[in-house]
């Protein structure tokens, strides 16, 4: 069931960390967790999502929906999204991926989910649903990139600055 997707194993808990703070990415994800109408999106996609049967069990729909949005917000390719799950506890927590229980969705699973959305023309419907909901709450999201890395100054530019200051 959708409401249980956040049940996590001990391996996924960060409660053993003594010090820490939330970065921009995690604060953004916390806000999106609150403002995106997840239950409406779930209801929109669920009739088209594969049901568990005799074959391989499908990844939970809540995880896949959140994965799709993470890709959009952070401009990640399918392989980039898979890699990001293994690199970022914040992304895993947001999507409900618990590496203590199962592997993160792989790039093929992510690709197939996007194709399912495209086949049933759900991408546009989801965008309209989210935009209308956010607009009703007075929230506007603009595109951009969240960058976690810093670019160090090169040795040459440091030397140039020193000589300028000395001269």
pLDDT along the chain (167 residues), means of 10: 49 57 91 92 94 78 96 95 96 95 94 95 91 82 52 48 54
pLDDT at 153: 44
pLDDT at 20: 76
Contact 65, 59 (CB under 8 A): no
Buried b (16+ CB within 10 A) or exposed e, 64-86: bbbbbbbbebbebebeebbebbe
pLDDT at 58: 83
pTM over 0.75: no
pLDDT at 122: 95
pLDDT at 1: 42
């Amino acid at each position: 069931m959708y409401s249980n997707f956040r049940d996590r194993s001990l391996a996924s808990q960060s409660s053993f960390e003594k010090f820490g703070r939330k970065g921009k990415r995690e604060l953004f994800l916390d806000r999106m967790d609150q403002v995106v109408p997840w239950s409406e999106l779930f209801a929109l996609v669920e009739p088209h999502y594969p049901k568990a049967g005799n074959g391989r069990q499908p990844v939970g729909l809540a995880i896949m929906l959140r994965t799709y949005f993470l890709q959009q917000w952070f401009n990640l390719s399918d392989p980039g999204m898979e890699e990001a799950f293994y690199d970022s506890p914040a992304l895993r927590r947001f999507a409900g991926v618990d590496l203590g229980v199962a592997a993160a969705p792989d790039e093929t699973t992510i690709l197939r989910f996007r194709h399912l959305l495209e086949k049933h023309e759900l991408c546009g419907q989801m965008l309209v649903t989210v935009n209308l909901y956010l607009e009703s709450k007075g929230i506007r999201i603009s595109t951009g990139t969240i960058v976690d890395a810093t670019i160090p100054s090169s040795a040459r530019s440091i030397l140039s600055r020193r000589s300028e200051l000395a001269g």
